[in-house]
Amino acid sequence: MTDRADAVDTATDELRSAHDALAELYAERLADVLDRTPADRAVLGLFCDLLGEHHAGHVIGDIGCGSGRLTPFLRARGLRPHGVDLAPEMVRVARRDHPGTPFDVADVRKLPFADASLAGVVCWYSLMYLAPRDRPRAFAELARVLRPGGYLATAFKVGDDRLRRGGQRVGVAFDIYWHSPAWMERAVTTADFKVVFSACRPADPEEDQPQGYLIARRGPASP
Ligand SMILES: C[S@@+](CC[C@H](N)C(=O)[O-])C[C@H]1O[C@@H](n2cnc3c(N)ncnc32)[C@H](O)[C@@H]1O
């Protein structure tokens, strides 16, 4: 595996460069943000509970892991996260700040995991950048690497599904989509997942938009 995912298009290069530039900022500012976001903790806790004791010690993918801030939470619940991110700098700081946890440069559209090898995948604010043409491939990849009955958990900024430019507040720019909960439910259902939890919370004072959460179980459709 190289430390650079395949260059595929201009938007991806722009996204990767932006997140390379943001990596140290993420490490500084977001390391303990989970302590201040009870809704995030609750949904991630539900994801861990759904995986159950049976999956304790199993590998789960932290897809678009950024600086790896979810790692302590997931490890404390007996899971073995394996982070991947498009941005090499994010992977570098994640490795530095969370020694003992594997992190690799990879793209959600081409994941470095074998078929049905993971008990769960977490995509925390990392599925918001996919261009329409890339979405089927990305969701199919998530389904491919999950074992039947495995769980996907995702958090996302809620909006009207239109293309926007993001990152300007922190001096970068990239394409981003704020998805509706209905959009996210459709995307996972189309990829043979069954939605088991979906919620939306209002924006906090420092946020621009409500936040969405979804957990889905990979088919077969019922346990
Ligand atoms: C908003 S950050 C969230 C990081 C982390 N999940 C968190 O909650 O702190 C989004 C991350 O997704 C990564 N990302 C975006 N598109 C990706 C893709 N196609 N494949 C892998 N990672 C991606 C970015 O590089 C960035 O680190």
Pocket of ligand 1 contains residue 155 by CB under 6 Å = no
**Would the pLDDT of 4 be above 80?**
no
CA distances from 221 to 132, 147, 151, 176, 218 (A): 25, 13, 12, 31, 7
**Would the pLDDT of 190 be above 70?**
yes
pTM: 0.94
* Spacing, Cα 223 to ligand 1 middle (Å): 30
Check residues 223 and 130 and name the one with the higher pLDDT.
130
pLDDT in tens, 22-81: 999 999 999 999 999 999 999 999 999 999 876 667 899 999 999 999 999 999 999 999
Check residues 178 and 5 and name the one with the higher pLDDT.
178
Q: Lowest-pLDDT range, 30-34, 84-88, 124-128?
A: 30-34
* Spacing, Cα 64 to ligand 1 middle (Å): 3
* Spacing, Cα 222 to ligand 1 middle (Å): 30
Percent of the chain with pLDDT over 90: 88
User: What is the mean pLDDT of the segment spanning 159-188?
Assistant: 95
Which residue pairs from 92-95 have beta carbons closer than 8 angstroms and sit at least 24 positions apart in sequence? Answer: 92/23, 93/23, 93/24, 93/26, 93/27, 93/67, 93/68, 94/65, 94/66, 94/67, 94/68, 95/68
pLDDT in tens, 46-59: 999 999 876 667 89
User: What is the mean pLDDT of the segment spanning 169-181?
Assistant: 95
- The sign one gets for the Cα dihedral 75, 156, 200, 166 is positive
pLDDT of residue 53: 72
Pocket of ligand 1 contains residue 108 by CB under 6 Å = yes
Pocket of ligand 1 contains residue 191 by CB under 6 Å = no
